[in-house]
Structure 1
Amino acid sequence: MPGFTFDLVRRTPVRSAERRSTYLSLTGTAGPYGEVTVTVGTVPRQATLAAPGLPEASVSHPNDLKQGLILIDERTLLSVGGFKATLTWNRRSFGKKGRGIRIGLGERDYAYLRIGAGEEELRDAERGPLVRQRSRLGSSTVGVTVLPGADPIDLALALVLQGADRTGLTITQTAVFGVLSFLYPGHGDV
């Protein structure tokens, strides 16, 4: 399939009940896969992907005390298309590639990396780069580029990770959000 681009736009819930149960909602039209929505719920604490043309995907964490995006560590529960993923993350590495999130999903071996200022990438160990996301500081839009060779599972994984806390992908982000978490406990996901 040829590559394509689209935008995910932050949507503010209209109904008050939805505002209370939703931390974040991103919507967009993913080319041939149609309308996609990534929702991070407060009750239950889970990020889900809703897209008629893509496999089901969700990410959650058993520690539901933290507010904001879903925490990523070895206890994080991630599933795409019925497959449970295994996650590893070396937050102590100084290099960008070493700080990436390693994801094992069935027979696939992925890495989710920060590749530049405001740019992140999902890559497969064998196929290389698959999906890139870019966002500017303070913007409510995430630009998504789906590269040729990406399939529905790759795109679903990249999209549901928008609901996960990826602040540890760079040393600078880790330091800034560590200070914010110390000053404002439970509110480090600004």
Structure 2
Amino acid sequence: MSGFTFDLVRRISVRSAERRTTYLTLAGTAGPYGEVTVAVGTVPRRATLTAPGLPEAWISHPDERKQGLILVDERTRLSVGGVTAAIARNRRSLSKKGRGLDIALGDRGYTYLSVATAEEELRDRERGPLVRQRSPLGTSKVSVTVLPAADAADLALALVLLGADRTGLTVTQTAVSGVLSFLQSGKADI
């Protein structure tokens, strides 16, 4: 398949019941895969991908106290197409490549990392770059570029990761996040 680009836009619910149970909803049309929606729920703490042309995908964390995007640590659960993935990350690395998320999904090995300011990429260890996501500061949209080597499972994985807390992908993001967390609650969340 040839590559394509599409945008996901933040959708604000008009129903108050949905606003209480949903932290974030991104929606758009993913080329030949049709309409896609990534929704991050507050109860339960789970991000799900809904798309008729893509495999079912979700990411969750058991911590009910944390608000916002889904925390990524050893208790995080991720599934794409019914296959459970193992996620690992090196929080102590100083390089962007070293801080990426290492994901083992069946017989595939992926790395999800920050490649530039406001730009992240899903890479397969054998096939190379598959999906790039760009979300410029101050905008409510995410531009997604699907490269020719990507298939439906690759795109589903990249999209559901939009519901994950990816602030730890760079040292700068981690530092800023830690300072803001400290200022908001009085204790750091690093």
The two structures have a TM-score, normalised by structure 1, of 0.97
Q: Counterpart in 1 of 2:74? A: 74
Q: How does 1:104-143 map to 2 (within 5 A)?
A: 104-143=104-143
Counterpart Cα distance in 2 of 1:37 and 1:61: 19
Q: Counterpart in 1 of 2:185? A: 185
Q: Counterpart in 1 of 2:89? A: 89
Q: Counterpart in 2 of 1:152? A: 152
Q: Counterpart in 1 of 2:39? A: 39
Quick one: which amino acid aligns to residue 90 of structure 2? N
Cα displacement (A) at 1:76: 0.3
Cα displacement (A) at 1:155: 0.2
Cα displacement (A) at 1:185: 2.8
Cα displacement (A) at 1:74: 1.2
Counterpart Cα distance in 2 of 1:43 and 1:63: 11
Counterpart Cα distance in 2 of 1:185 and 1:158: 31
Cα displacement (A) at 1:113: 0.6
Cα displacement (A) at 1:184: 1.1
Instruction: Describe the SS at the equivalent of 1:48.
Output: strand
> Runs of 5+ in structure 1 lacking a partner?
none
Counterpart Cα distance in 1 of 2:64 and 2:99: 24
Instruction: Describe the SS at the equivalent of 2:32.
Output: helix
Counterpart Cα distance in 1 of 2:10 and 2:83: 28
The percentage of counterpart residues that share the same residue type is: 74
Provide Cα deviations, 1:15-62, integer angstroms capped at 9, x if missing partner: 111111110000000000000000000111100000000000000001
How many equivalent pairs are there? Answer: 188
Quick one: which amino acid aligns to residue 146 of structure 1? V
Counterpart Cα distance in 1 of 2:185 and 2:99: 24
Counterpart Cα distance in 1 of 2:11 and 2:115: 26
CA RMSD of aligned residues (A): 1.4
Counterpart Cα distance in 2 of 1:155 and 1:185: 36
Instruction: Describe the SS at the equivalent of 1:168.
Output: helix
- Following TM superposition, the consecutive aligned residue runs of length 4 or more in structure 1 with deviations greater than 6 angstroms are none
Cα displacement (A) at 1:69: 0.2
> Runs of 5+ in structure 2 lacking a partner?
none
Counterpart Cα distance in 1 of 2:157 and 2:72: 14
